[in-house]
Structure 1
Amino acid sequence: MPQVLHVALLILIWAQTSSAGSIRVQLADYDKDSWKGVLRRVAPSWVLEEFEDIRVTSAAENGFQVRCTSIRGHTYIHGRKTVIANTPTDALNAINTYLRTECLSQVSWSNSSFSSGCRKHSNDVINFESKQIRYFGNMCTFSYSFVWWEWPQWERFIDWIALNGFNTVLMPLGQEAIWRDIFMGLGVERDVLNEYFTSQAYLAWHRMGNLKAYGGGLSDAQMLNDLNLAKRIINRLLELGITPILPTFAGFVPDQLEKLFPSSKFTRLPCWNNFTSETSCLLSVSPFDPLFQKIGSLFLRHQKKMFGGDITNLYSADPFNEILPSDSAKFDAKFVKQTAQAIMNSCRKVDKNCIWVLQSWSFTYDEWPSWAIKSFLSAVPIGNLLILDLYSEVVPAWQSTSSFHGHNYIWCMLHSFGGSRELRGNLQKVDKGYQLALMKGGSNLIGAGLTMEAIDQNYVIYQFMVDRMWSSEPLPLNTWIKSYSESRYSADFKVSHKFWTLLAFSFYNQPEKWGNPRFSVFLYHRPAFGKKIEYWFPVEETFGHLQSLIPSLIHVLGDHPLFKEDLNDVMRAITQFEVGNDAALTLTEAFLMEDKQQIGSTCENLMDMFLKLESYSNRDMKHWIEDSKSIAATSEERQVFPATAADILTVWGPEGQNLDYAHREWEGLLSGYYGRRWQYFCDWILEHDFFNHTDFSASVFRDVERPYSVSNL
C-alpha cells in the first residue's frame, strides 16, 4: 500500500529588536489562547483542525511592547501546520492570509465565504513582514458606521481586526461619561451639559471640537451604556494583544467653565462648516492657562480608573480639526506651539510614557503654512508623537513636511468620505504610494493603517491595503486579484477572475488628485441641470464586458452572498450611469427647448429607474433606523435617535450644512429620498418657465429634504 504524505505549513513569526524606526508602545498582558475564540466564532471546524499547533509568545516575553513583525512560512511533509507568533493577532493574521491564499476562504465585514479545506502543497516558502504599527481607526467611522452598534456587531468586527493583524485601534467610545464626571466635579451643572454634548450620531465631531448640543445631548443612561460597551470592547482588544488608543484632553470645555473660573483664560474656536454658535464655536481652555493641565490630568486619571489602569500609552487628541488655530491672530506661532506643549504635558503628568496620536488632516485640509506645522511639531519631543498621515494615498503629507520633521508617523489609506458605496479607488496608486514611502519616507515611518470614514463599501481596496502593509515589496496586481476572486467566492472560476480583473482596471484604477473634486454620482445630490456621470475608463466597452460575464457568474455562483453583494454594486453602477447620462440629460435638453411633454415622459421614466436602482441595494434604510432605536437608553432618545440617524445621511445639519455628504445607495433612500427629490425637481420645472436655483434649493429643502429626516421621529 503506498505511503500517504500529509502536507503541512510551518509559519514562524518573530520580532525585529532593532530600535531604529520604532517606538515604545505598551502591550497589555493578553490571553495567549484568545486566537481560538476568534476561529471558533468566524470559521468552520476544519480551520482549527488545519492549524492544530499554534504557539503564541507571552506579553512578558515581548517585554510588554508592540514589536516589529516578520513572518516566514515553510511547507513540510510531516502532517501538521505550526504557527509560532508574537501575539494572538499576529498568529491570526498568518492563519487568515493562508486561508485566503491557499484555502479559498474570506472573512469580510458583511459576510464570509469558506471552502471545505486547503490546497495541498509542498516545498513552499511564505515570506512577508510589516512595520511595527498596524493601525485602524477614524473618528468619523464611529458616527458613520459604528454609531448604532451593540456588542454582537463589535465582536464580529474585532474578530476581523484581529484576523487582519491590526495591533493598534482608535477607541474614543465611552468618554462622555468620564467627561461628565470631570466637568460636574469642576462645578458644571448637569443640565448645562445637554448644551455641550451632542446626540449620539454626532459625537465624532463633538470629540474633535466641531459641534456641541446638536441633536439634544445625551442621557446619563446612554453614557453609561456607551461606557460599558467601551469596557467590553477594550477588554477584548487587550485579550487579543491589540493596544487601544484612548482620548486625552485637547482643550474643549462647556461654556459654563468661563464663569466658574473667571481668572482663567479661554479661547472661542471658530464655528465649523457654517454651523451657528448655538451648535458650534466651542470654548477651549487657553494652553497658556494652568487650568488646561488640571483638567487634562483629572480626565486621564479618571479614564484609567474606569478602564482598568495602565492599559495603554497611546492617546489621541486633535485640537484643530477643520478649524483654524487662532488666538489673537491666524496661525500665531506661539499659540500653536503652546497648544501642542499643553496637550503633551497634561498627558505626561499622568502617564510618563504617553505617546500622543495626532491626525495630519489639519495640516493638509486647512493648508497650514510650513512654518506653522514645524512650530507645532517642534513643541513635542521626538518619540512622544505618532502622526497619522491620514490621506496618504492622495495627499501624502510626509512629502511636504520633511517626513513630519523627524516624528514617527503611519502611512494611512483613507479612501472613503461619508460611506457611499460608489465603486472607486486606485489599487496601483495605493501600491506605488506606500512603496515610495517605504523607500524615501525615512526610518520614522513605523507603520501603515486604514482610516476610512465608513466601512461596508469597496471591500477589495481595503483588503489590498491590509495585504500591502504586510509586504515590503509591491504586490503583483494580477496575481493578487486572482487570489482575491478565489477567496471571495471560495471557487477558482475563470469567469470570476475575469470579472474582478475588469473591475480592478476600470473602477479601481481611478485617477485622483488632491484639489480636484472627489468623484460622486450627482443623482444622490440635490438636482440641477447639465450634470453627468464621468467615469475614467471606456464605459461602453467595460459595461459590455461586465454584462456579458454576468449570466455565467450567476450560473456558477448563484446566491453566494458575497457575489450577490458585488453584483448589486456593479448593476447599480451600470444603471445609475443610464439614469444620469440619459434621463437626467434629456431633462436638461427638454427644459431648454421648453418641451413640457418631453419633460413629463422623461420624469415618469426617471422614477421607474430609481425603483430599478433600489432593487440593487445591499442594505435597507429601515434597518439603520431600527438600530438607532434599539440602542437608545431612554424613551426620549428612542424618539430622537431615528431622526438623527436620517439627518446624518441626508441633510446633515439644521440648514443642510453637510447635505448628502454621507449619502448611501440604500433601499428606502433611493426611492424615498433621492427619487422623491428628483420628482420634486420635475414638478418644479413643469410649473416654472425659468429655473432659479436659489429658490429651488430653499423650496426642496423645506418640502422634501428636511421633512424626510424628521419623518423618522
Structure 2
Amino acid sequence: MKHLCIICMIFLSTIVRAASPVQGLLERIDKGASRKFVVEQVKSDTDFFELDQKGNKILVRGNNPVSIATGVNWYLKYYAGIHLSWNKMTACLPDILPPVPQKERHETNLTHRYDFNYCTFSYTMAFWDWERWEKEIDWMALHGINLPLAMTGIDVVWYNMLEKLGYSKDEINEFIAGPAFQGWWLMNNLEGWGGPNPDSWYKQREVLQKQILKRMREYGIHPVLPGYSGMVPHNAKERLGLNVSDPGLWCGYRRPAFLQPTDPRFQEIAGLYYKEMERLYGKADFYSMDPFHEGGNVAGVDLNAAGQAIWQAMKKANPKAVWVAQAWQANPRQKMIENLPAGDLIVLDLFSESRPQWGDPESTWYRKEGFGKHDWLYCMLLNYGGNVGLHGKMKHVIDEFYKAQSSPFGKTMKGIGMTMEGSENNPVMFELLCELPWRAEAFDKDQWLKSYLKARYGQTDPAVEEAWELLSNTIYNCPPQNTQQGTHESVFCARPHHNVYEVSSWSEMKPYYNPEDIIRAAGILLSAADRFKGNDNFEYDLTDIVRQAVAEKGRLVYPIMTNAYKAGEKKLFDSASTRFLELILLQDKLLATRPEFKVGSWIEKARNLGNTTEEKDLYEWNARVQITTWGNRTAANHGGLRDYAHKEWNGLLKDFYYNRWKIWIEQQKEQLNGSPAKDIDFYAIEEQWTRQNQPYSSQPEGDVLETAKEVYNQIK
C-alpha cells in the first residue's frame, strides 16, 4: 500500500509538472524548450527566482509561476542572449543552453507589478484576438507582471445589468461605446461613441475575456476587473427615477451621469453589477474604479459618502477585495479616500516619471502627504495616444524609483506599474521598468544599457553601443522637469499651418535634444546593420530609429518651408515644400518593411473580428477614426481630440498625412501667386478617409536593411 501511495504521488507530481503554465510558456517560445529547463516551485513569503544548473539543463526556481517565468526571462536575456519582445515572442534555442556557472538569486518585497491603462485597451488592444492575447499574457509573466487590468468583455456585464434594469437593446447600445473607444466609456468620459455594437461583438468579448482570465489565473496573476463606481446612463433620472449628478462634458462629449451615493438604489445597482460580473467572470481580489476622471464635475457630491458607498459595494461582493485607483490630475479626491481603511486601496501613481503624486515636493502635481496611509505603485506612463516615437527619461526613471523607495513614502510603495496609453513601442523603457523591482540597489544607466543591448541583439558591437549611448543621452534623456505627454511628435502628423510644433492638443512639448544627434545615431547604427541582418530585434529597432531620423529631418525642413512663404520666396518655398513631401513618402516606404509600422496591420485586425461586411466596416471605421479625427467634428475641432492618437505608419503617412500637407502646400502656392487666403475644412478631408475601405496590406514590403540604407542616404 505504501509503495502504491508513492507511485500515485509521483504520477500526480508528473501531471502537475506537465500542466505547469511555465512549461506551456516555454513550448510556445520554442517547441521542445521545456525539456531544456527544470522548473521548481517552492513556498516563500517573498517573491524570488533563482537560476542554477542541473546537469545540462537550466534550473529555474521560484515561489510562483510568475516569479519562475521572470527567472526564465532573466536567463534568456543575460545568459542566452535571447530577448523576447512585442515584435517577436518566439526564439530558436540552442540544443544545449549556455550554463549557469553559479547560482543567481533575485528577490523583491514589491508585491505588485501592474500593467495597463484603460486607454491601452483601446489604443493598442481594441481588436486583439486570443492568439495575440496569449502572447501578451506570456510577455507579462516573463516580465513579472502579476496585477494587470482586465477590462475586455466588461461591456457584457453592463449590457446584462442594464437589461435587468429595463433598458432596451437600442438604449443599451446608445450607452456602450464602440470597440475603439471603450476605454473612455469605462472611465466615465463618454457614451455610445463608436457604436452601436452588433450582438456578435458581445458574444465574442465574453468568450475572449474568459480565455484571458483563465490563463491569467493559471499563472497566479490577479486580474483587476473594473468595479462599480456609480456610473449610469445620462438619462437614468428620467428612466429609473435615480438621484444623479451631471459630471459635465469631456472634450465635447456628454459624460454618463453619476449615481449619488445617498440614493437608496446605489447598493442595489452595484449589487446587480457585481452579481453579473461574478456570474460571467468570477470574483476578483482587485477592482479598478475612477469616478470623476479627468475633470469630472463633483459639485453637489459628498465625496466621503461616495468613497464609502463604492468601497462598501466592492466589499460586499468580495470581502477580500482591494480598490485600485488611478492618480491622475485631482484624482483620487482626498476626501473620497481619506476614510477608507488602510490596505483596501492601491493608488497607481500614473505619471511617476514626470508628475509624481506620491509626495515628491519637486512635482507639479505635488501632494504633501502623498497618498497617506494607502498603498501606491511607482508607475511609468511614457506613451500617450499610442503615438510612435523614441522617448524616455532613462536615468531619471532609475533614480526616482530608488529615491521614492528610500523616502518616508517608501513604506507604502508596494510595486511598479506600466500605465502607458499605447503599448508595443519603446521596448527599452518598459524592459528597464520591469527590472527595477528585482534589482536591490541603484545601478548605472550606461552599464545596464550595454547588458540590455547584448541581450536584445545576442551579441555586442561597438557601433551599436555608440549609437544607443548617443540616444540614451539625448532623446532618452528627457529632463526631469519636462512634463510633455510622450514622444516629441512628428511634424508630418500635424494639421498643416505656419506654426506647427505640437501635433496633439495637450502635448506640452519642449525642445530638449538636438535633432541632428538622432540622425547621426541612426547612421552609426546603420554602419553595423550588415552584421545583424536577419536579427529581428535589430531590424525592428533599426526601422524605428531611422524612422525617427526622418521625422527629425522633417522638423528641420519645415521652418525653411514656412519661412520661405513668409518671405515671399516662391522658388525656395517650392523646393522646400517638395522636399518636405518627399520626406513623408520616404518614411512611408521605410515603414512598409515592418508589419508593426503598417496601418494595414491595425485595420486588418479590426476587420478580422467582423462576421459580416457590415460588422467589418463598422470595426474598420472605428480603427480609422481613432487614429485620425478621434471624434466627431465638435470633439475633433473644439474638444482637442483630433490627431491625439496620430501614428507614423505606412499607408497612413501616404494617404492621410501626405494628402493633408499637399492640399495645404498647394493653397500656399496659390496665395504666393496672388490668390486670396481661404480656410481649409480639414475635418471634411479627414472624415472622408475614415469612411473609406480601400485595402491596406499588413505584409512587409521590401528588405529592411536595404530600404533603411536607401532612406538614410537621402536624409543625411
Q: Write the mapping of 1:531-546 to structure 2, written as runs, cut at 5 A.
A: 531=500, 536-541=512-517, 543-546=519-522
Q: What corresponds to 1:22 in structure 2?
A: none
Q: Write the mapping of 1:220-235 to structure 2, written as runs, cut at 5 A.
A: 220-235=199-214
Structure 1 residue 516, shift from structure 2 partner: 5.3
Structure 1 residue 243, shift from structure 2 partner: 0.8
Is the 8 Å Cα contact of residues 222 and 634 (structure 1) preserved in structure 2? Answer: no
Query: Which shifted more, 594-603 or 139-148?
Result: 594-603
The reply to whether residue 151 of structure 1 matches residue 119 of structure 2 is no
Is the 8 Å Cα contact of residues 30 and 240 (structure 1) preserved in structure 2? Answer: no
> 2:285 corresponds to which letter in structure 1?
N
The reply to whether residue 69 of structure 1 matches residue 47 of structure 2 is yes
For 1:404, what is the secondary structure of its paired residue? Answer: coil
CA offsets, 1:586-612, max 9 Å, x none? 221221122333323332222221110
The reply to whether residue 306 of structure 1 matches residue 280 of structure 2 is yes
Q: What corresponds to 2:495 in structure 1?
A: 526
Q: Distance in 2 between matches of 1:472 and 1:92?
A: 19
Structure 1 residue 135, shift from structure 2 partner: 1.0
The reply to whether residue 611 of structure 1 matches residue 585 of structure 2 is yes
Is the 8 Å Cα contact of residues 389 and 398 (structure 1) preserved in structure 2? Answer: yes
- Correspondent of 2:166 among 169, 181, 187: 187
The reply to whether residue 566 of structure 1 matches residue 548 of structure 2 is no
Q: Write the mapping of 1:136-535 to structure 2, written as runs, cut at 5 A.
A: 136-262=115-241, 264-275=242-253, 280-307=254-281, 309-310=282-283, 312-328=284-300, 335-363=302-330, 373-399=333-359, 400-401=366-367, 402-440=369-407, 441-513=409-481, 519-531=488-500
Is the 8 Å Cα contact of residues 376 and 415 (structure 2) preserved in structure 1? Answer: yes
Describe the shift of the 1:581–1:252 C-alpha distance in structure 2 as closer, same or farther (beyond 3 A). same
For 1:212, what is the secondary structure of its paired residue? Answer: coil
Describe the shift of the 1:421–1:193 C-alpha distance in structure 2 as closer, same or farther (beyond 3 A). same
Q: Distance in 1 between matches of 2:565 and 2:542?
A: 35
Q: What corresponds to 1:701 in structure 2?
A: 683
> 1:321 corresponds to which letter in structure 2?
H
Is the 8 Å Cα contact of residues 71 and 129 (structure 1) preserved in structure 2? Answer: no
Q: What corresponds to 1:14 in structure 2?
A: none
Structure 1 residue 494, shift from structure 2 partner: 3.0
Describe the shift of the 1:541–1:354 C-alpha distance in structure 2 as closer, same or farther (beyond 3 A). closer
Describe the shift of the 1:296–1:31 C-alpha distance in structure 2 as closer, same or farther (beyond 3 A). farther
Q: Write the mapping of 1:662-701 to structure 2, written as runs, cut at 5 A.
A: 662-688=645-671, 696=679, 699-701=681-683
Q: Distance in 1 between matches of 2:482 and 2:336?
A: 23
Is the 8 Å Cα contact of residues 66 and 146 (structure 2) preserved in structure 1? Answer: yes
Q: Distance in 2 between matches of 1:379 and 1:562?
A: 49
CA offsets, 1:74-100, max 9 Å, x none? x56865433332211110101111110
Structure 1 residue 31, shift from structure 2 partner: 9.2
Is the 8 Å Cα contact of residues 219 and 634 (structure 1) preserved in structure 2? Answer: no
> 1:709 corresponds to which letter in structure 2?
T
Is the 8 Å Cα contact of residues 230 and 260 (structure 2) preserved in structure 1? Answer: yes
Q: Write the mapping of 1:648-663 to structure 2, written as runs, cut at 5 A.
A: 648-655=626-633, 656=636, 657=639, 658-663=641-646
- Correspondent of 1:42 among 3, 16, 29: 29
Structure 1 residue 452, shift from structure 2 partner: 0.7
Q: Distance in 1 between matches of 2:402 and 2:119?
A: 27
Q: What corresponds to 1:26 in structure 2?
A: none
Q: What corresponds to 1:23 in structure 2?
A: none
Structure 1 residue 489, shift from structure 2 partner: 1.4
Is the 8 Å Cα contact of residues 46 and 107 (structure 2) preserved in structure 1? Answer: no
Q: Distance in 2 between matches of 1:135 and 1:258?
A: 37
Structure 1 residue 124, shift from structure 2 partner: 5.4
Describe the shift of the 1:578–1:672 C-alpha distance in structure 2 as closer, same or farther (beyond 3 A). same
Q: Distance in 1 between matches of 2:285 and 2:620?
A: 37
For 2:681, what is the secondary structure of its paired residue? Answer: helix
Is the 8 Å Cα contact of residues 115 and 490 (structure 1) preserved in structure 2? Answer: no
CA RMSD, Structure 1 to Structure 2 (Å): 2.6
Structure 1 residue 114, shift from structure 2 partner: 5.1
CA offsets, 1:164-202, max 9 Å, x none? 111111001111112111111111111111211111110
Query: Which shifted more, 489-498 or 609-618?
Result: 489-498
Describe the shift of the 1:605–1:433 C-alpha distance in structure 2 as closer, same or farther (beyond 3 A). same
Is the 8 Å Cα contact of residues 518 and 549 (structure 2) preserved in structure 1? Answer: no
Describe the shift of the 1:712–1:270 C-alpha distance in structure 2 as closer, same or farther (beyond 3 A). farther
Q: Distance in 2 between matches of 1:30 and 1:301?
A: 35
> 2:682 corresponds to which letter in structure 1?
V
Matched residue pairs, number? Answer: 652
> 1:259 corresponds to which letter in structure 2?
E
Structure 1 residue 134, shift from structure 2 partner: 1.0
Q: Distance in 2 between matches of 1:346 and 1:437?
A: 33
Query: Which shifted more, 289-298 or 686-695?
Result: 686-695
- Correspondent of 2:601 among 608, 623, 639: 623
Q: What corresponds to 1:596 in structure 2?
A: 570
Q: Write the mapping of 1:118-133 to structure 2, written as runs, cut at 5 A.
A: 118-120=97-99, 122-123=101-102, 125-133=104-112
Query: Which shifted more, 623-632 or 116-125?
Result: 116-125
* Identity across matched positions, percent: 25
CA offsets, 1:303-348, max 9 Å, x none? 11112x44x21111111111334233xxx6xx22222111111111
